[in-house]
Structure 1
Amino acid sequence: MTTIRRDTDVLRALQGLEDGRSSVRLRAALAVGTAPDARFVGKLVERSAIEPEFFVRDMLTWALTRHPVSLTLPELLRELRSEGAQARSQALHTLSKIGDRKAWPAITRALLSDADEDVARSAWRAAVVLVPEGEEAGLAAVLATQLGRGGRETQLSLSRALVELGDVVVPALGAASAASDRRVRAHALATERLLRDPDAGFGFAIEEAKRVVALGGSGREG
Protein backbone atom coordinates (compact mmCIF):
# COMPACT_ATOMS: atom_id res chain seq x y z
CA MET A 1 0.00 0.00 0.00
CA THR A 2 1.33 3.39 -0.98
CA THR A 3 1.36 5.91 1.84
CA ILE A 4 1.36 9.69 1.59
CA ARG A 5 4.05 10.64 4.07
CA ARG A 6 4.56 14.36 3.64
CA ASP A 7 2.52 16.41 6.06
CA THR A 8 1.93 19.03 3.38
CA ASP A 9 0.35 16.42 1.09
CA VAL A 10 -1.86 15.16 3.90
CA LEU A 11 -2.97 18.66 4.79
CA ARG A 12 -3.72 19.51 1.16
CA ALA A 13 -5.85 16.40 0.76
CA LEU A 14 -7.73 17.01 4.01
CA GLN A 15 -8.46 20.57 2.95
CA GLY A 16 -9.59 19.36 -0.46
CA LEU A 17 -12.19 17.09 1.13
CA GLU A 18 -13.81 20.16 2.67
CA ASP A 19 -13.58 22.43 -0.37
CA GLY A 20 -16.78 24.17 -1.42
CA ARG A 21 -16.44 22.83 -4.97
CA SER A 22 -17.62 19.26 -5.50
CA SER A 23 -15.06 18.71 -8.27
CA VAL A 24 -12.24 19.50 -5.83
CA ARG A 25 -13.71 17.20 -3.18
CA LEU A 26 -13.98 14.44 -5.77
CA ARG A 27 -10.33 14.80 -6.79
CA ALA A 28 -9.26 14.87 -3.14
CA ALA A 29 -11.16 11.66 -2.38
CA LEU A 30 -9.59 10.03 -5.43
CA ALA A 31 -6.12 11.10 -4.28
CA VAL A 32 -6.74 9.79 -0.77
CA GLY A 33 -7.87 6.41 -2.09
CA THR A 34 -4.98 6.21 -4.53
CA ALA A 35 -2.40 6.79 -1.79
CA PRO A 36 -4.00 5.66 1.49
CA ASP A 37 -2.82 6.97 4.84
CA ALA A 38 -4.19 6.22 8.30
CA ARG A 39 -4.57 9.93 8.95
CA PHE A 40 -7.33 10.13 6.35
CA VAL A 41 -9.74 7.57 7.79
CA GLY A 42 -11.46 9.79 10.36
CA LYS A 43 -11.96 12.62 7.88
CA LEU A 44 -13.31 10.27 5.19
CA VAL A 45 -15.91 8.90 7.58
CA GLU A 46 -16.75 12.37 8.89
CA ARG A 47 -17.15 13.74 5.37
CA SER A 48 -19.32 10.81 4.27
CA ALA A 49 -21.85 11.77 6.92
CA ILE A 50 -22.44 15.23 5.44
CA GLU A 51 -21.34 15.11 1.79
CA PRO A 52 -24.30 16.28 -0.35
CA GLU A 53 -23.14 14.96 -3.75
CA PHE A 54 -23.76 11.30 -4.56
CA PHE A 55 -20.72 10.87 -6.81
CA VAL A 56 -18.43 12.35 -4.16
CA ARG A 57 -19.92 10.08 -1.48
CA ASP A 58 -19.27 7.14 -3.78
CA MET A 59 -15.63 8.14 -4.10
CA LEU A 60 -15.35 8.58 -0.33
CA THR A 61 -16.63 5.03 0.10
CA TRP A 62 -14.09 3.76 -2.43
CA ALA A 63 -11.30 5.61 -0.61
CA LEU A 64 -12.32 3.99 2.67
CA THR A 65 -12.25 0.52 1.10
CA ARG A 66 -8.62 1.19 0.17
CA HIS A 67 -7.60 1.53 3.82
CA PRO A 68 -7.01 -1.36 6.25
CA VAL A 69 -10.16 -2.80 7.78
CA SER A 70 -8.53 -2.59 11.19
CA LEU A 71 -8.68 1.21 10.83
CA THR A 72 -12.00 1.67 9.04
CA LEU A 73 -14.21 -0.84 10.84
CA PRO A 74 -14.19 0.78 14.31
CA GLU A 75 -14.95 4.20 12.81
CA LEU A 76 -17.79 2.89 10.66
CA LEU A 77 -19.35 0.88 13.48
CA ARG A 78 -19.36 4.01 15.62
CA GLU A 79 -21.26 5.84 12.87
CA LEU A 80 -24.07 3.29 13.03
CA ARG A 81 -25.05 4.83 16.37
CA SER A 82 -25.09 8.36 14.96
CA GLU A 83 -28.24 10.46 15.17
CA GLY A 84 -27.64 11.55 11.58
CA ALA A 85 -29.45 9.41 9.01
CA GLN A 86 -26.85 10.00 6.30
CA ALA A 87 -24.07 9.01 8.69
CA ARG A 88 -25.81 5.68 9.39
CA SER A 89 -26.72 5.09 5.76
CA GLN A 90 -23.24 5.80 4.40
CA ALA A 91 -21.55 3.72 7.08
CA LEU A 92 -23.80 0.78 6.20
CA HIS A 93 -23.13 1.29 2.50
CA THR A 94 -19.38 1.31 3.08
CA LEU A 95 -19.55 -1.77 5.30
CA SER A 96 -21.36 -3.60 2.50
CA LYS A 97 -18.55 -2.67 0.11
CA ILE A 98 -15.82 -3.73 2.55
CA GLY A 99 -17.64 -7.02 3.18
CA ASP A 100 -15.95 -7.93 6.46
CA ARG A 101 -18.32 -10.15 8.44
CA LYS A 102 -16.96 -8.93 11.76
CA ALA A 103 -19.43 -6.09 11.21
CA TRP A 104 -22.42 -8.45 11.22
CA PRO A 105 -23.33 -8.12 14.94
CA ALA A 106 -23.76 -4.37 14.42
CA ILE A 107 -26.48 -4.90 11.78
CA THR A 108 -29.29 -4.75 14.30
CA ARG A 109 -33.01 -5.16 13.92
CA ALA A 110 -33.30 -1.45 14.71
CA LEU A 111 -31.20 -0.60 11.65
CA LEU A 112 -33.08 -3.09 9.46
CA SER A 113 -36.31 -1.34 10.42
CA ASP A 114 -34.91 2.20 10.64
CA ALA A 115 -37.53 4.90 10.18
CA ASP A 116 -35.35 6.54 7.52
CA GLU A 117 -35.80 4.61 4.27
CA ASP A 118 -32.29 5.34 2.99
CA VAL A 119 -30.86 3.86 6.18
CA ALA A 120 -33.16 0.83 6.02
CA ARG A 121 -32.28 0.14 2.38
CA SER A 122 -28.57 0.40 3.14
CA ALA A 123 -29.03 -1.93 6.11
CA TRP A 124 -30.83 -4.50 3.94
CA ARG A 125 -28.03 -4.50 1.39
CA ALA A 126 -25.33 -4.69 4.06
CA ALA A 127 -27.11 -7.50 5.89
CA VAL A 128 -27.32 -9.68 2.79
CA VAL A 129 -23.59 -9.23 2.18
CA LEU A 130 -22.50 -9.76 5.78
CA VAL A 131 -24.88 -12.44 7.08
CA PRO A 132 -22.93 -15.51 8.29
CA GLU A 133 -23.64 -18.90 6.80
CA GLY A 134 -26.54 -20.53 8.60
CA GLU A 135 -28.20 -17.28 9.69
CA GLU A 136 -29.88 -16.45 6.40
CA ALA A 137 -33.32 -17.76 7.45
CA GLY A 138 -33.31 -15.60 10.57
CA LEU A 139 -32.39 -12.57 8.49
CA ALA A 140 -35.14 -13.39 6.01
CA ALA A 141 -37.69 -13.44 8.83
CA VAL A 142 -36.61 -10.00 9.99
CA LEU A 143 -36.58 -8.57 6.46
CA ALA A 144 -40.06 -9.97 5.85
CA THR A 145 -41.39 -7.71 8.60
CA GLN A 146 -40.61 -4.79 6.28
CA LEU A 147 -42.71 -6.07 3.36
CA GLY A 148 -45.22 -3.53 2.12
CA ARG A 149 -43.17 -0.61 3.33
CA GLY A 150 -42.58 2.56 1.31
CA GLY A 151 -42.83 3.25 -2.39
CA ARG A 152 -41.74 1.20 -5.35
CA GLU A 153 -38.03 1.98 -4.99
CA THR A 154 -37.98 0.87 -1.36
CA GLN A 155 -40.03 -2.23 -2.08
CA LEU A 156 -37.79 -3.19 -4.98
CA SER A 157 -34.73 -2.79 -2.75
CA LEU A 158 -36.21 -5.11 -0.13
CA SER A 159 -37.29 -7.66 -2.76
CA ARG A 160 -33.78 -7.73 -4.20
CA ALA A 161 -32.31 -8.31 -0.75
CA LEU A 162 -34.71 -11.17 -0.07
CA VAL A 163 -34.13 -12.76 -3.46
CA GLU A 164 -30.38 -12.55 -2.88
CA LEU A 165 -30.81 -14.81 0.16
CA GLY A 166 -32.27 -17.57 -2.01
CA ASP A 167 -34.80 -20.25 -1.14
CA VAL A 168 -34.44 -19.76 2.63
CA VAL A 169 -36.85 -16.83 2.25
CA VAL A 170 -39.74 -19.01 1.05
CA PRO A 171 -41.28 -19.68 4.51
CA ALA A 172 -41.13 -16.01 5.45
CA LEU A 173 -42.68 -14.97 2.15
CA GLY A 174 -45.34 -17.64 2.47
CA ALA A 175 -46.38 -16.32 5.85
CA ALA A 176 -46.40 -12.72 4.60
CA SER A 177 -48.53 -13.65 1.59
CA ALA A 178 -51.32 -14.51 4.02
CA ALA A 179 -51.06 -11.25 5.97
CA SER A 180 -54.15 -9.11 6.53
CA ASP A 181 -52.45 -6.05 4.99
CA ARG A 182 -52.94 -6.02 1.22
CA ARG A 183 -49.69 -4.13 0.61
CA VAL A 184 -47.76 -6.77 2.54
CA ARG A 185 -49.47 -9.61 0.66
CA ALA A 186 -48.84 -8.02 -2.73
CA HIS A 187 -45.20 -7.29 -1.95
CA ALA A 188 -44.65 -10.86 -0.70
CA LEU A 189 -46.23 -12.34 -3.82
CA ALA A 190 -44.21 -10.08 -6.11
CA THR A 191 -41.01 -11.10 -4.32
CA GLU A 192 -41.94 -14.77 -4.68
CA ARG A 193 -42.41 -14.18 -8.40
CA LEU A 194 -38.96 -12.59 -8.65
CA LEU A 195 -37.47 -15.49 -6.70
CA ARG A 196 -38.96 -17.98 -9.18
CA ASP A 197 -38.20 -15.83 -12.21
CA PRO A 198 -35.30 -13.38 -11.65
CA ASP A 199 -35.81 -11.99 -15.15
CA ALA A 200 -39.33 -10.82 -14.36
CA GLY A 201 -39.52 -7.07 -13.96
CA PHE A 202 -40.51 -5.82 -10.53
CA GLY A 203 -43.11 -3.47 -11.98
CA PHE A 204 -44.85 -6.36 -13.74
CA ALA A 205 -44.51 -8.63 -10.69
CA ILE A 206 -46.00 -6.12 -8.24
CA GLU A 207 -48.91 -5.17 -10.52
CA GLU A 208 -49.69 -8.84 -11.11
CA ALA A 209 -49.54 -9.45 -7.36
CA LYS A 210 -51.88 -6.53 -6.68
CA ARG A 211 -54.43 -7.99 -9.10
CA VAL A 212 -54.21 -11.37 -7.41
CA VAL A 213 -54.70 -9.82 -3.97
CA ALA A 214 -57.58 -7.67 -5.19
CA LEU A 215 -59.31 -10.84 -6.46
CA GLY A 216 -58.74 -12.50 -3.09
CA GLY A 217 -56.25 -15.06 -4.37
CA SER A 218 -52.90 -16.23 -3.07
CA GLY A 219 -51.09 -16.39 -6.39
CA ARG A 220 -50.14 -20.00 -5.62
CA GLU A 221 -50.84 -23.07 -7.66
CA GLY A 222 -52.65 -26.12 -6.45
Structure 2
Amino acid sequence: MLIGEVARRSGVSARMLRHYDSLGLVRPTGRTVGGYREYSPADIRRILHVEGLRSLGLSLSQIGRALDDSGFSPSALVGDLIRKTEERLNREQELLERLRTVDAAEPSGWQDALRIVELLHGLGSQSAARRQQAVLAPAEDVLVPAELLAEAVLTESDPNVAGALRWALARAVGDGVASLIPAMSSENVDIRRRAVLALAELPGDEATAVLTDALGDADATVRRHVALALGARGVTQAVPELVGTVVEGPNDVEAAELLGTLARDEKWADRIMSALVDELTAHTADSAVRIRLTQALAEMPGTIALDTLRQLAHDDDRAVALIASALVKTLEERPDDELGQP
Protein backbone atom coordinates (compact mmCIF):
# COMPACT_ATOMS: atom_id res chain seq x y z
CA MET A 1 0.00 0.00 0.00
CA LEU A 2 1.44 3.36 -1.02
CA ILE A 3 1.93 6.23 1.43
CA GLY A 4 -1.08 8.26 0.24
CA GLU A 5 -3.46 5.35 0.80
CA VAL A 6 -1.90 4.59 4.18
CA ALA A 7 -2.37 8.22 5.20
CA ARG A 8 -6.01 8.18 4.14
CA ARG A 9 -6.83 4.96 5.99
CA SER A 10 -4.80 5.56 9.16
CA GLY A 11 -5.49 9.25 9.58
CA VAL A 12 -1.73 9.91 9.89
CA SER A 13 -0.48 12.52 7.46
CA ALA A 14 2.01 11.59 4.76
CA ARG A 15 4.38 14.14 6.23
CA MET A 16 4.26 12.40 9.63
CA LEU A 17 4.73 8.99 8.01
CA ARG A 18 7.89 10.28 6.33
CA HIS A 19 9.02 11.60 9.72
CA TYR A 20 8.45 8.17 11.28
CA ASP A 21 10.52 6.66 8.48
CA SER A 22 13.39 9.10 9.01
CA LEU A 23 13.45 8.26 12.73
CA GLY A 24 13.35 4.54 12.06
CA LEU A 25 10.12 4.28 13.99
CA VAL A 26 8.00 2.90 11.11
CA ARG A 27 9.93 2.01 8.02
CA PRO A 28 7.99 0.69 5.02
CA THR A 29 8.84 -2.89 4.18
CA GLY A 30 9.35 -2.27 0.48
CA ARG A 31 9.69 0.18 -2.38
CA THR A 32 7.99 0.21 -5.73
CA VAL A 33 9.94 0.10 -9.00
CA GLY A 34 9.61 3.86 -9.05
CA GLY A 35 11.06 4.15 -5.51
CA TYR A 36 7.83 4.97 -3.68
CA ARG A 37 7.32 3.72 -0.11
CA GLU A 38 5.21 0.60 0.07
CA TYR A 39 3.68 -0.43 3.40
CA SER A 40 2.76 -3.98 4.37
CA PRO A 41 -0.12 -4.90 6.69
CA ALA A 42 2.46 -5.32 9.50
CA ASP A 43 3.75 -1.81 8.82
CA ILE A 44 0.23 -0.42 9.08
CA ARG A 45 -0.34 -2.25 12.38
CA ARG A 46 2.85 -0.68 13.73
CA ILE A 47 1.62 2.75 12.66
CA LEU A 48 -1.59 2.19 14.59
CA HIS A 49 0.43 1.04 17.61
CA VAL A 50 2.51 4.21 17.44
CA GLU A 51 -0.59 6.38 17.33
CA GLY A 52 -2.12 4.51 20.25
CA LEU A 53 0.96 5.08 22.41
CA ARG A 54 1.12 8.73 21.35
CA SER A 55 -2.41 9.16 22.66
CA LEU A 56 -1.09 8.17 26.10
CA GLY A 57 1.44 10.97 26.01
CA LEU A 58 4.55 8.95 25.18
CA SER A 59 7.29 10.64 23.22
CA LEU A 60 8.41 9.12 19.91
CA SER A 61 11.66 7.90 21.46
CA GLN A 62 9.72 6.22 24.27
CA ILE A 63 7.40 4.64 21.71
CA GLY A 64 10.38 3.29 19.76
CA ARG A 65 11.79 1.65 22.90
CA ALA A 66 8.43 0.24 23.86
CA LEU A 67 7.83 -1.36 20.44
CA ASP A 68 11.36 -2.66 19.85
CA ASP A 69 12.30 -3.95 23.32
CA SER A 70 10.61 -7.28 23.95
CA GLY A 71 11.46 -7.03 27.65
CA PHE A 72 10.07 -3.53 28.04
CA SER A 73 7.73 -3.12 31.07
CA PRO A 74 5.16 -0.35 30.73
CA SER A 75 4.31 -0.02 34.45
CA ALA A 76 7.08 2.41 35.43
CA LEU A 77 6.63 4.52 32.31
CA VAL A 78 2.85 4.65 32.68
CA GLY A 79 3.21 5.57 36.36
CA ASP A 80 5.51 8.43 35.43
CA LEU A 81 3.06 9.59 32.79
CA ILE A 82 0.23 9.56 35.34
CA ARG A 83 2.26 11.71 37.74
CA LYS A 84 3.19 14.23 35.05
CA THR A 85 -0.38 14.37 33.80
CA GLU A 86 -1.70 15.02 37.29
CA GLU A 87 0.84 17.81 37.74
CA ARG A 88 -0.20 19.35 34.44
CA LEU A 89 -3.88 19.13 35.34
CA ASN A 90 -3.23 20.77 38.70
CA ARG A 91 -1.39 23.61 36.98
CA GLU A 92 -4.23 24.02 34.53
CA GLN A 93 -6.79 23.96 37.34
CA GLU A 94 -4.84 26.68 39.16
CA LEU A 95 -4.74 28.67 35.95
CA LEU A 96 -8.49 28.23 35.49
CA GLU A 97 -9.19 29.44 39.03
CA ARG A 98 -6.87 32.39 38.53
CA LEU A 99 -8.66 33.34 35.33
CA ARG A 100 -12.04 33.04 37.03
CA THR A 101 -10.84 35.26 39.86
CA VAL A 102 -9.62 37.93 37.48
CA ASP A 103 -12.89 37.71 35.55
CA ALA A 104 -14.94 38.04 38.77
CA ALA A 105 -13.10 41.27 39.56
CA GLU A 106 -14.41 42.71 36.29
CA PRO A 107 -11.21 44.58 35.44
CA SER A 108 -11.72 47.62 33.28
CA GLY A 109 -8.33 47.19 31.65
CA TRP A 110 -5.11 45.24 31.70
CA GLN A 111 -3.72 47.33 34.56
CA ASP A 112 -6.61 46.23 36.78
CA ALA A 113 -6.15 42.63 35.72
CA LEU A 114 -2.44 42.77 36.46
CA ARG A 115 -3.12 44.16 39.95
CA ILE A 116 -5.39 41.20 40.71
CA VAL A 117 -2.71 38.82 39.42
CA GLU A 118 -0.19 40.54 41.69
CA LEU A 119 -2.52 40.01 44.65
CA LEU A 120 -2.87 36.33 43.76
CA HIS A 121 0.90 35.95 43.65
CA GLY A 122 1.17 37.65 47.03
CA LEU A 123 -1.43 35.37 48.61
CA GLY A 124 0.44 32.37 47.24
CA SER A 125 3.73 33.40 48.84
CA GLN A 126 5.46 31.13 51.36
CA SER A 127 6.12 34.23 53.47
CA ALA A 128 3.39 35.12 55.96
CA ALA A 129 4.59 38.73 55.97
CA ARG A 130 4.32 38.88 52.17
CA ARG A 131 0.79 37.43 52.27
CA GLN A 132 -0.28 39.94 54.90
CA GLN A 133 1.21 42.79 52.92
CA ALA A 134 -0.63 41.65 49.81
CA VAL A 135 -3.94 41.77 51.69
CA LEU A 136 -3.44 45.07 53.50
CA ALA A 137 -1.86 47.08 50.70
CA PRO A 138 -3.80 46.52 47.47
CA ALA A 139 -4.20 49.29 44.95
CA GLU A 140 -7.01 51.60 46.05
CA ASP A 141 -8.99 51.15 42.88
CA VAL A 142 -8.81 47.34 42.82
CA LEU A 143 -12.07 45.62 43.79
CA VAL A 144 -11.03 42.30 45.33
CA PRO A 145 -13.64 39.55 44.88
CA ALA A 146 -15.04 38.09 48.10
CA GLU A 147 -14.66 34.59 46.66
CA LEU A 148 -10.89 35.03 46.45
CA LEU A 149 -10.56 36.27 50.03
CA ALA A 150 -12.91 33.60 51.39
CA GLU A 151 -10.88 30.86 49.75
CA ALA A 152 -7.68 32.35 51.19
CA VAL A 153 -9.02 32.78 54.72
CA LEU A 154 -10.19 29.16 54.86
CA THR A 155 -6.67 27.87 54.20
CA GLU A 156 -4.63 30.46 56.10
CA SER A 157 -2.93 29.14 59.25
CA ASP A 158 -1.03 32.26 60.28
CA PRO A 159 -3.24 34.21 62.75
CA ASN A 160 -2.01 37.64 61.64
CA VAL A 161 -2.59 36.94 57.96
CA ALA A 162 -5.96 35.35 58.75
CA GLY A 163 -6.99 38.48 60.65
CA ALA A 164 -6.01 40.67 57.72
CA LEU A 165 -7.96 38.44 55.34
CA ARG A 166 -11.08 38.59 57.53
CA TRP A 167 -10.77 42.38 57.65
CA ALA A 168 -10.50 42.54 53.87
CA LEU A 169 -13.35 40.06 53.36
CA ALA A 170 -15.70 42.23 55.39
CA ARG A 171 -14.97 45.06 52.93
CA ALA A 172 -14.80 43.03 49.73
CA VAL A 173 -16.99 43.10 46.66
CA GLY A 174 -19.41 40.19 46.40
CA ASP A 175 -21.25 37.87 48.76
CA GLY A 176 -18.75 36.85 51.42
CA VAL A 177 -21.34 34.88 53.38
CA ALA A 178 -22.26 32.74 50.38
CA SER A 179 -18.57 32.03 49.80
CA LEU A 180 -18.20 30.74 53.37
CA ILE A 181 -21.38 28.68 53.72
CA PRO A 182 -19.99 25.49 52.08
CA ALA A 183 -17.09 25.52 54.56
CA MET A 184 -19.52 25.18 57.49
CA SER A 185 -20.23 21.58 56.47
CA SER A 186 -16.59 20.67 55.89
CA GLU A 187 -15.27 17.54 57.60
CA ASN A 188 -12.11 19.51 58.37
CA VAL A 189 -12.69 21.17 61.73
CA ASP A 190 -9.97 23.76 61.10
CA ILE A 191 -11.84 24.97 58.03
CA ARG A 192 -15.08 25.27 60.03
CA ARG A 193 -13.29 27.24 62.74
CA ARG A 194 -11.81 29.65 60.21
CA ALA A 195 -15.17 30.05 58.51
CA VAL A 196 -16.88 30.93 61.81
CA LEU A 197 -14.26 33.55 62.66
CA ALA A 198 -14.74 35.09 59.22
CA LEU A 199 -18.55 35.03 59.47
CA ALA A 200 -18.33 36.72 62.87
CA GLU A 201 -16.91 39.81 61.18
CA LEU A 202 -19.51 39.92 58.41
CA PRO A 203 -22.60 42.04 59.08
CA GLY A 204 -26.17 41.20 58.20
CA ASP A 205 -28.97 38.77 58.93
CA GLU A 206 -27.63 36.12 56.56
CA ALA A 207 -24.37 35.79 58.50
CA THR A 208 -26.32 35.69 61.75
CA ALA A 209 -28.53 32.90 60.44
CA VAL A 210 -25.55 30.80 59.34
CA LEU A 211 -23.90 31.30 62.73
CA THR A 212 -27.08 30.35 64.57
CA ASP A 213 -27.25 27.09 62.65
CA ALA A 214 -23.66 26.39 63.72
CA LEU A 215 -24.56 26.42 67.43
CA GLY A 216 -25.07 22.68 67.04
CA ASP A 217 -21.61 22.01 65.62
CA ALA A 218 -19.83 18.94 66.98
CA ASP A 219 -16.68 20.90 67.79
CA ALA A 220 -16.57 22.81 71.08
CA THR A 221 -14.24 25.49 69.71
CA VAL A 222 -16.58 26.16 66.79
CA ARG A 223 -19.54 26.44 69.16
CA ARG A 224 -17.62 28.80 71.46
CA HIS A 225 -16.68 31.17 68.64
CA VAL A 226 -20.25 31.02 67.31
CA ALA A 227 -21.70 31.85 70.73
CA LEU A 228 -19.37 34.81 71.18
CA ALA A 229 -20.25 36.15 67.75
CA LEU A 230 -23.98 35.72 68.31
CA GLY A 231 -23.83 37.16 71.82
CA ALA A 232 -22.22 40.27 70.40
CA ARG A 233 -25.16 40.52 67.98
CA GLY A 234 -27.67 40.22 70.81
CA VAL A 235 -28.85 36.73 69.83
CA THR A 236 -30.20 35.05 72.97
CA GLN A 237 -30.01 31.55 71.51
CA ALA A 238 -26.32 31.78 72.38
CA VAL A 239 -26.96 32.01 76.14
CA PRO A 240 -26.51 28.29 76.99
CA GLU A 241 -23.24 28.12 75.07
CA LEU A 242 -22.04 31.38 76.62
CA VAL A 243 -22.70 29.97 80.08
CA GLY A 244 -20.81 26.86 79.02
CA THR A 245 -17.93 29.07 77.90
CA VAL A 246 -17.78 30.67 81.35
CA VAL A 247 -17.64 27.19 82.86
CA GLU A 248 -15.04 25.75 80.51
CA GLY A 249 -12.99 28.75 79.39
CA PRO A 250 -11.18 30.17 77.52
CA ASN A 251 -12.94 33.41 76.57
CA ASP A 252 -14.84 33.22 79.88
CA VAL A 253 -14.41 36.96 80.55
CA GLU A 254 -15.77 37.88 77.14
CA ALA A 255 -18.64 35.43 77.53
CA ALA A 256 -19.50 36.86 80.97
CA GLU A 257 -19.58 40.40 79.60
CA LEU A 258 -21.92 39.31 76.81
CA LEU A 259 -24.20 37.53 79.29
CA GLY A 260 -24.33 40.73 81.32
CA THR A 261 -25.39 42.67 78.26
CA LEU A 262 -28.05 40.11 77.31
CA ALA A 263 -29.33 40.10 80.91
CA ARG A 264 -30.39 43.73 80.49
CA ASP A 265 -33.42 42.25 78.78
CA GLU A 266 -35.79 41.50 81.68
CA LYS A 267 -37.08 38.42 79.88
CA TRP A 268 -33.60 36.89 80.01
CA ALA A 269 -32.19 38.25 83.27
CA ASP A 270 -33.71 35.55 85.49
CA ARG A 271 -32.83 32.78 83.03
CA ILE A 272 -29.20 33.81 82.85
CA MET A 273 -28.95 34.17 86.63
CA SER A 274 -30.54 30.75 87.12
CA ALA A 275 -28.16 29.17 84.65
CA LEU A 276 -25.11 30.62 86.42
CA VAL A 277 -26.37 29.56 89.86
CA ASP A 278 -27.14 26.07 88.59
CA GLU A 279 -23.58 25.75 87.34
CA LEU A 280 -22.26 26.88 90.74
CA THR A 281 -24.28 24.14 92.36
CA ALA A 282 -23.13 21.56 89.83
CA HIS A 283 -19.42 22.33 90.28
CA THR A 284 -19.03 22.37 94.05
CA ALA A 285 -15.65 20.63 93.85
CA ASP A 286 -14.06 22.64 91.04
CA SER A 287 -12.59 25.85 92.44
CA ALA A 288 -11.46 27.26 89.07
CA VAL A 289 -14.94 26.89 87.57
CA ARG A 290 -16.61 28.44 90.64
CA ILE A 291 -14.21 31.39 90.50
CA ARG A 292 -15.09 32.03 86.85
CA LEU A 293 -18.81 31.79 87.60
CA THR A 294 -18.47 34.13 90.59
CA GLN A 295 -16.68 36.70 88.47
CA ALA A 296 -19.37 36.33 85.80
CA LEU A 297 -22.03 37.24 88.34
CA ALA A 298 -20.38 40.62 88.75
CA GLU A 299 -21.17 41.35 85.09
CA MET A 300 -24.92 41.06 85.69
CA PRO A 301 -26.76 44.39 85.43
CA GLY A 302 -27.96 46.31 88.44
CA THR A 303 -27.97 44.43 91.73
CA ILE A 304 -29.61 41.22 90.54
CA ALA A 305 -26.55 39.18 91.48
CA LEU A 306 -25.84 40.93 94.78
CA ASP A 307 -27.70 38.46 97.04
CA THR A 308 -26.02 35.49 95.37
CA LEU A 309 -22.61 37.11 95.78
CA ARG A 310 -23.32 37.78 99.46
CA GLN A 311 -24.01 34.09 99.94
CA LEU A 312 -20.82 33.18 98.07
CA ALA A 313 -18.87 35.49 100.38
CA HIS A 314 -19.35 32.74 103.00
CA ASP A 315 -18.50 29.89 100.59
CA ASP A 316 -16.42 26.98 101.91
CA ASP A 317 -13.95 27.64 99.06
CA ARG A 318 -11.80 30.44 100.48
CA ALA A 319 -10.79 31.75 97.03
CA VAL A 320 -14.43 31.98 95.96
CA ALA A 321 -15.40 33.64 99.23
CA LEU A 322 -12.68 36.28 98.95
CA ILE A 323 -13.57 37.16 95.36
CA ALA A 324 -17.29 37.28 96.17
CA SER A 325 -16.63 39.54 99.17
CA ALA A 326 -14.61 41.95 97.05
CA LEU A 327 -17.32 42.01 94.39
CA VAL A 328 -20.04 42.64 96.98
CA LYS A 329 -18.09 45.59 98.34
CA THR A 330 -17.60 46.98 94.85
CA LEU A 331 -21.32 46.70 94.03
CA GLU A 332 -22.42 48.19 97.32
CA GLU A 333 -20.11 51.18 96.90
CA ARG A 334 -21.07 51.83 93.30
CA PRO A 335 -23.39 54.83 92.78
CA ASP A 336 -26.97 53.95 91.86
CA ASP A 337 -26.69 55.66 88.49
CA GLU A 338 -23.83 53.30 87.56
CA LEU A 339 -25.64 50.15 88.53
CA GLY A 340 -28.50 50.38 86.08
CA GLN A 341 -31.32 47.88 86.03
CA PRO A 342 -32.14 44.96 83.75
Tell me if 1:214 matches 2:317.
Answer: yes
**Considering only aligned residues, what root-mean-square deviation do their CA atoms show, in Å?**
3.5
Equivalent residue runs for 1:82-161 within 5 Å: 82-108=186-212, 110-111=214-215, 114-117=218-221, 119-131=222-234, 136=236, 138-150=237-249, 153-161=250-258
Superposed, 1:175-190 pairs within 5 Å as 175-178=275-278, 179-182=281-284, 183=286, 185-190=290-295
Asked if the contact 1:65–1:97 (Cα under 8 Å) also holds between the matched residues in 2, the reply is yes
The 3 A distance-change label for structure 1 pair 22 and 145 is closer
Asked if the contact 1:36–1:67 (Cα under 8 Å) also holds between the matched residues in 2, the reply is: no
Aligned position for 1:204: none
Q: How does 1:46-65 map to 2 (within 5 A)?
A: 46-65=151-170
Paired residue secondary structure (2:230): helix
- Flag structure 1 segments of 5+ consecutive residues without an equivalent: 198-208
Asked if 2 retains the 8 angstrom alpha-carbon contact of 1:128 and 1:161, the reply is yes
Q: 1:112 to 1:187 in 2, by over 3 A?
A: farther
Would you say the 8 A contact 1:177–1:189 is kept in 2?
Answer: no
Question: Which structure has the bigger radius of gyration?
Answer: 2
Q: Does the C-alpha gap of structure 1 residues 195 and 50 become closer, same or farther in structure 2, counting only changes over 3 Å?
A: same
Change over 3 Å in CA distance of 1:73–1:175 after alignment to 2: closer
Equivalent residues of 2:215, 2:238 under 8 A apart: no
Number of matched pairs: 199
Superposed CA deviations along residues 105-150 of structure 1, whole A, max 9, x for unmatched, are: 2224653665343x3332122212344xxx52x4324433444114
1:57 offset after TM fit, Å? 1.1
Distance 1:154-1:123 versus aligned 2 partners, 3 A rule:
same
Q: What is the aligned-residue identity percentage?
A: 18
**Match of 1:12?**
118
Gaps of 5+ in 2: 1-104, 303-311, 329-342
Do 1:79 and 1:91's aligned partners in 2 also have CA atoms closer than 8 Å?
yes
Partner of 1:27: 133
**CA spacing shift, 1:211–1:186, aligned 2, 3 Å:** farther
Q: CA deviation at 1:13?
A: 0.7
Matched, 1:44 2:154: no
Q: What secondary structure, in the 3-state scheme, does the structure 2 residue paired with 1:195 have?
A: coil
2:335 aligned residue? none
Which position in structure 2 is the counterpart of 1:67? Answer: 172
**Cα distance, 1:9–1:33 mapped onto 2, change above 3 Å:** closer
Q: After superposition, give the CA deviation of every residue in 1:143-163 in whole Å (9 maximum; x if it has no partner).
A: 33444114xx33223223323
Question: Does structure 1 residue 173 correspond to structure 2 residue 273?
Answer: yes
Secondary structure at the aligned position of 1:80 is classed as helix
- Alpha-carbon distance between aligned partners in 2 of 1:210 and 1:83, rounded to the nearest angstrom: 47
Q: Structure 1 residues 33 and 106, CA, compared in 2 at 3 Å: closer, same or farther?
A: farther
